[in-house]
Amino acid sequence: MSEIVNKVKLSKLQTIDLEKIAVGVHLFELDLKDFLFHGLILKEADFREKMEAHDWSQYKGGFLTVYCSTDAILPKWAFMVIVQHADEFAEDVFFGKKQMAISELFKRKLDTIDWQQYEGSYVLLKGCSKIDVPSEVYMYATKKLLPYVGKLMYGEACSNVPVYKKKRVKTVPAE
């Protein structure tokens, strides 16, 4: 009987699982409509009162993203007041829907990676994950990898899609 050989482990393929970058990140959403009169009008005194009464400690250790699900026109200072209240508890406060904040968090984490470690490597950006990694995160990781990788693929080791392969420069022998 012949031994089973794991060809993936023996290859020079390096897998990057973007999902693992998000491990332990807690993201909370805050819809401002709940702080507005009839969900549409910001009355300064009422708004400030509701801000004071809100339990900001629920965001402790997480990231908060703030948006308004109605067509209310909100002054810029309202968002500044939110940051002032959330700053003591939240790791950071973002403007916009959850998907925008997720993309920003991924980008921040990707900016901390030393991409030179992939110089000349065959890299696979893992495709299947339990969380929905936004397409723009794959785009951002690709931009970071292109200057270094020999080959870039997407998917799984057993079935991947080639994305990029560095062209070999032909050298002409000196005469």
pLDDT value at 138 more than 60: yes
Distance CA 114, CA 137 (A): 17
Give the model's pLDDT for residue 23: 80
Number of helical (H) and strand (E) elements in the chain, helices listed first: 6, 7
15 CB burial (10 A radius; 0-12, 13-18, 19+): middle
Give the model's pLDDT for residue 47: 97
Distance CA 80, CA 157 (A): 46
C-alpha 152, offset from chain centre? 20
- The per-residue pLDDT for range 66-98, each reduced to its tens digit, is 999 999 999 999 999 999 999 999 999 999 999
Lowest mean pLDDT of 17-26, 36-45, 48-57, 94-103, name the range.
Answer: 17-26
Give the model's pLDDT for residue 1: 64
Residue 93 dihedral angles phi and psi, to the nearest 5°: -125, 130
Domain map (residue ranges) of the chain:
7-23+113-165, 27-102
Q: Do residues 80 and 47 make contact, with C-beta atoms less than 8 angstroms apart?
A: no
Give the model's pLDDT for residue 4: 62
pLDDT value at 16 more than 70: yes
Distance CA 43, CA 22 (A): 38
pTM score, whole prediction? 0.77
pLDDT value at 11 more than 80: no
Q: Compute the mean pLDDT over every residue in the chain, rounded to the nearest whole number.
A: 90
Tell me which residue of 147, 141, 144, 142 sits closest to 119, measured CA to CA: 147
Distance CA 121, CA 25 (A): 29
Q: CA 92, 127, 30: angle at the middle one, nearest 5?
A: 25
